A and B are shown apart, each in its own frame.
Chain A
Amino acid sequence: ETGVTQSPTHLIKTRGQQVTLRCSSQSGHNTVSWYQQALGQGPQFIFQYYREEENGRGNFPPRFSGLQFPNYSSELNVNALELDDSALYLCASILRGSGTANTEAFFGQGTRLTVV
Chain B
Amino acid sequence: AQSVTQLDSHVSVSEGTPVLLRCNYSSSYSPSLFWYVQHPNKGLQLLLKYTSAATLVKGINGFEAEFKKSETSFHLTKPSAHMSDAAEYFCVNSGTYKYIFGTGTRLKVLA
Please give the residue numbers on chain A whose beta carbons come within 8 Å of chain B beta carbons, in ascending order: 2, 4, 33, 35, 40-45, 48, 50, 55-56, 58, 90, 92, 101-102, 104-110
- B24-65: contact bitstring with A at CB < 8 Å (1 yes, 0 no)? 000000001010100000111110010100000000000000
**Cβ of A56 and Cβ of B96 under 8 Å apart?**
yes
| Cross-interface CB contact of B51 among A44, A50, A102, cutoff 8 Å | A102
Give complex CA distance A20, B31 in Å: 34
**Cβ of A109 and Cβ of B43 under 8 Å apart?**
yes
| Cross-interface CB contact of A109 among B42, B94, B97, B103, cutoff 8 Å | B42
| Cross-interface CB contact of B99 among A2, A40, A45, A108, cutoff 8 Å | A45
Interface residues in B, total, Cβ within 8 A: 21
> Given A56-B97, A107-B43, A110-B43, A42–B102 Cβ distance below 8 Å?
yes
Residues of chain B lying within 8 A (CB to CB) of residue A35: 99, 101
**Cβ of A55 and Cβ of B97 under 8 Å apart?**
yes
Q: Please name the 10 residue pairs, one residue from A and one from B, whose CB atoms are nearest each other, closest first.
A: A102-B32, A42-B101, A56-B97, A107-B44, A102-B94, A45-B98, A109-B43, A107-B43, A43-B101, A42-B103
Residues of chain A lying within 8 A (CB to CB) of residue B44: 43, 90, 107
CB distance from B102 to the nearest CB of A (A): 6
Contacts of B48-96 to chain A: CB distance below 8 A: 49, 51, 90, 94, 96
> Given A102-B51, A104-B46, A48–B97 Cβ distance below 8 Å?
yes
